[in-house]
Amino acid sequence: MTWATPMLAGLVAAIAIPALVILYFLKLRRTPREVSTTLLWKQAIQDIQANAPFQKLRKNILLFLQLIILALILIALAQPRSTSTSIAGQKIVILFDRSASMQARDAGSESNPITRFEHAKAHAIDLIESLASPSLFEESARADEAMIIAFGSSAEIVENFTSDKSKLIAAIESLQPTDSPSSIEEAFRLAQAQRPNRAAPTEDTAAVGDPDNISDPPSDPITYHLFSDGRIPDLDKIHTDPSSGPTPSFEYHAIGSPTSVNLGIVSLQAERDYEKPTKLSIFVGVQSTDPQERSVDAELVVQGATIAVRSIKLPPAVTDPTTNITEPAVGGVVFELDEPRALTATVRLAGLDDPSADALDRDNASTVIIPPAARARVALVTSGSVFLTRAIDVLPIADFKVLSPSKYESIRNTDEAAAIDLFILDGYTPNPNANGDRLDPGRYLVLGDIPRSDQPVNDEGLSENTTQIINWRRTHPLLRGLTLDSVIVGEPRKLTLPEDSELVSLAETPVGPAIIEESTPDTRAVYVTFAPKESNWPLEPSFIVFLGSAVDYLAATDASTVDTNARQLEPGSILADRLPLDASAIRVRLPDSTYSEDIVPSPDGRIVYGPITSIGRYQLQWSGSAGATDTTQGNLNTRDYAANLLSAPESNTGTQTTIALSNAVVSADAAGQIERLKEWWPYLLAAALAIMLLEWWVYNRKVYF
């Protein structure tokens, strides 16, 4: 039991108690009177008021009751409280996980399961109610303050430091879950940035390994409370602050069951056959955390109709007895279709309605948007290259032409050039057109040259030293799956890209970019800055694969259409695309059928929306021109996107009872129970009021009966 204002209560008691007792020492001194009859005697001797001091103090029930009332009021004035906190005025940072796995329905009771998210909100409110409140009478008595930060793939401050419990509780109640993966690093950095009384330590006092190298004074401690299931991949980047005082600086409130069972789709990919583009394969990967063998049906739904069902058998998940970490079981299935048209396909797992057998339902269905089958028409502009001609001729393309530079110049403004999807320029730089541009609107793969736009690269000429490619963007659609470190370049160019340029380096040598991508509203071009014949690349298998990827990447769609991979969104990411220059009234139709606010495009037609927080189907709508794969109804053009969870860590729903930070291992055992801070003065005042009513009843009974 602690007391908020004991000095004030003692001072009032020293005045009020003696004053009450002194009133009962007063006695009545009667004045002699003559009366005509004894009938008035009773009224004459009635004690109306005391007017003389120092009668003998006798037993009096009223005095006893009044002393009890006064004592209760005085004790209430001292504000007694039972508290679970040992430090007054502490700073609390509540880190609230709202990632997809927090929507697992394995909390609450078996008869009434609730999501982890709702369970975590109830526990966070309990923590807020347990904080020390500000004193009613002493401004020097400091209250606890708390700040709330919610995080998924990104983080935001929901409520800054305050001691107002109503604001903090309202902030917790306003939180909504997301379907994004979990990352705590940004949330922790936000908390570090908001820490009060921060001071830069000296070399002697600096905390080793502290990311910010900044700490709080020991007199102003700060404690982090993490409400999560522990499925956070970047927890090892969090460093607890040893300067925050002797009490633990990080507490973990584990939400959910460590033995939670879940099945979910963790991968979904659609590919058309390279030789026969109408042949479509849809690959589905499923994960299970059930220690028992499971079998589940995967349904393929196209345009709202189920067209195929495949059974997937999943072996038991294996739990390491030493680390208590469960390794999920993985299985999959392939759906094959013969479909040349564009389509939207959804794969869903059937029969997973029991939360005890499948805790999370957000990963039970995923959607993929597939463009129509098409073969490109390609033209090679060269003065003579046998190996390029043969390499491109074996690719599965609809039409292939070999043009001389003079022939190319003669057809640049004709329908014949407009029918070509991709021009491959072999060491040839076209003449400037009427607008002064080297490249006409269209798609280009330029070999042995560099961009010559309004912002040209800084070209220092050819290098005499032989070099090789040392770095490349392995996730780019053009270079995905390629190995380029064996490519030796005989005469690389010494290049530097200008600042604030839209040119993007895709591969680099020690002297500069080896592959550059340039995108404008009307033109997309990829430049190989060295001549392939001056390298060993044509002898490498990766060269043929690169040419095939270039045809798919550059010639598959027009300049106003997004790449196929960008149609698949991940919760937490940004929807970024490029629309025709005349696009207007742009907005996004969300999965819940509501619409975003109007989006203003950049001058080159780029639009950005997000971040995406929920899975489902997103539809970009606008008025104006449409791309080759867009849908048009009346004056409205639409382009579809699909956001899927597809996250193995989020689908692994078993709650971790222990988490490992960069410098500490935190157990959830001690943090699971939250004790409330009990304020006793309201109950004491209520008791005083009840006894006061009793005293009033006793007084009236004594006087009138």
Residue 453 covered by a domain:
yes
Kindly state the percentage of the chain with pLDDT values over 90: 32
Task: Give residue 475's domain range.
Answer: 377-555
Residue 498 covered by a domain:
yes
Residue 651 covered by a domain:
no
The tokens of 688 are what? Answer: 């005083």
Residue 211 covered by a domain:
yes
Q: What is the pLDDT of residue 148?
A: 96
Q: Which range, 165-169, 458-462, 602-606, is most confident? A: 165-169
Quick check: 47 pLDDT over 60? no
Statement to judge: residues 120 and 230 lie in one domain:
yes
Query: Once rounded to an integer, what is the mean pLDDT over residues 180-186?
Result: 92
Statement to judge: residues 104 and 210 lie in one domain:
yes
Query: Once rounded to an integer, what is the mean pLDDT over residues 254-274?
Result: 89
Statement to judge: residues 413 and 521 lie in one domain:
yes
Which of 520, 555, 590 is the last residue in one of the domains? 555
Statement to judge: residues 275 and 351 lie in one domain:
yes
Per residue in 218-239, pLDDT (tens digit) is 445 688 999 999 989 999 888 7
Q: How far apart are CA 420 and CA 403, in angstroms?
A: 12
Per residue in 343-371, pLDDT (tens digit) is 899 999 998 888 888 999 999 999 999 88
Q: How far apart are CA 523 and CA 537, in angstroms?
A: 26
Per residue in 366-391, pLDDT (tens digit) is 999 988 877 788 999 998 888 888 88
Residue 168 covered by a domain:
yes
Compute the mean pLDDT over every residue in the chain, rounded to the nearest whole number. 80
Q: How far apart are CA 603 and CA 521, in angstroms?
A: 9
Query: Once rounded to an integer, what is the mean pLDDT over residues 104-121?
Result: 87
Quick check: 331 pLDDT over 90? yes
Q: What is the pLDDT of residue 211?
A: 43
Per the structure, how many domains does the chain have? 5
Quick check: 91 pLDDT over 80? yes
Q: How far apart are CA 130 and CA 84, in angstroms?
A: 8
Statement to judge: residues 325 and 284 lie in one domain:
yes
Statement to judge: residues 349 and 284 lie in one domain:
yes
Per residue in 397-422, pLDDT (tens digit) is 878 889 999 999 998 888 888 888 89
Query: What count of Cα atoms within 13 Å lies in the side-chain half-sphere of residue 220?
Result: 10
Statement to judge: residues 672 and 687 lie in one domain:
no
Residue 9 covered by a domain:
yes
Instruction: Answer whether 130's CB lies under 8 Å from 675's CB.
Output: yes
Quick check: 194 pLDDT over 80? no
CATH of the domain at 518: 3.40.50.880
Residue 648 covered by a domain:
no
Statement to judge: residues 181 and 131 lie in one domain:
yes
Which of 346, 373, 400 is the last residue in one of the domains? 373
Query: What count of Cα atoms within 13 Å lies in the side-chain half-sphere of residue 101?
Result: 35
Q: What is the pLDDT of residue 564?
A: 47
Weakest-pLDDT range from 418-427, 588-597, 635-644, 682-691: 682-691
CATH of the domain at 568: 2.60.40
Query: Once rounded to an integer, what is the mean pLDDT over residues 638-648?
Result: 93
Quick check: 94 pLDDT over 90? yes
Query: Once rounded to an integer, what is the mean pLDDT over residues 182-205?
Result: 71
Which of 319, 354, 373 is the last residue in one of the domains? 373
Per residue in 475-490, pLDDT (tens digit) is 888 888 888 988 999 8
Q: Which residue has the higher pLDDT, 406 or 194?
A: 406
Statement to judge: residues 252 and 281 lie in one domain:
no
Query: Once rounded to an integer, what is the mean pLDDT over residues 5-34?
Result: 63
Q: What is the pLDDT of residue 329?
A: 93
Instruction: Answer whether 213's CB lies under 8 Å from 262's CB.
Output: no
Q: What is the pLDDT of residue 69?
A: 74
Query: Once rounded to an integer, what is the mean pLDDT over residues 512-538?
Result: 87
Statement to judge: residues 223 and 130 lie in one domain:
yes
Quick check: 137 pLDDT over 50? no
Q: What is the pLDDT of residue 72?
A: 73
Q: How far apart are CA 299 and CA 347, in angstroms?
A: 6
Q: What is the pLDDT of residue 141?
A: 53
Q: How far apart are CA 316 and CA 261, in angstroms?
A: 11
Instruction: Answer whether 520's CB lies under 8 Å from 503's CB.
Output: no
- Residue 429 is inside which H or E element, if any? none
Statement to judge: residues 369 and 452 lie in one domain:
no
Quick check: 251 pLDDT over 50? yes
Q: Is 252 helix (H, G, I), strand (E, B) or coil?
A: strand
Q: What is the pLDDT of residue 215?
A: 43
Q: What is the pLDDT of residue 219?
A: 45
Q: What is the pLDDT of residue 48?
A: 47
Residue 634 covered by a domain:
yes
Statement to judge: residues 389 and 527 lie in one domain:
yes
> Where in 316-419 does DSSP place strands (E)?
318-319, 326-327, 329-338, 343-350, 365-370, 377-381, 399-403
Quick check: 601 pLDDT over 70? yes
Q: What is the pLDDT of residue 294?
A: 93
